Amino acid sequence: MLLILLIVLLFSSLVNFYFSIQILRRVSAAEIKISFFEIRWQVHKHMKKYRELTRAETGNIGLSWYGYWLSLALMVLCGCWLFISLGSSIGRVK
């Protein structure tokens, strides 16, 4: 069970990173300055702008916005579940 949770956590982290890159590419294509030195922190800063840009272009919010938030929620859920599982399995060992 722990291995499965770890694999899902790593996979959702990679998916989240992919959507982060897609969001930052779209925002930078709109001539908005982005510092790629702090790429993980810049995503949250530009989420609102990405939503506005995609809504203005297509009338809908871009799929990367939903993918980012869903993968982030999955990361947090799996991370918490993994720590809870690790804590309970450590308690059983004693």
- Decide if 71 contacts 16 (C-beta within 8 A): yes
Lowest average pLDDT, out of 11-15, 24-28, 39-43, 66-70, goes to 39-43
Q: CA-to-CA distance for 30 and 76, rounded, in angstroms?
A: 30
pLDDT score for 41: 75
33 in any annotated domain: no
Whole-model pTM?
Answer: 0.83
34 in any annotated domain: no
Sign of the four-CA dihedral 44, 16, 37, 6? positive
User: What is the count of structural domains for the chain?
Assistant: 1
* pLDDT bracket for residue 94 (50, 70, 90): low
* pLDDT bracket for residue 88 (50, 70, 90): confident
pLDDT score for 40: 67
35 in any annotated domain: no
Domain encompassing residue 76: 2-26+40-89
Q: Is the pLDDT of residue 62 over 80?
A: yes
Q: CA-to-CA distance for 27 and 37, rounded, in angstroms?
A: 16
32 in any annotated domain: no
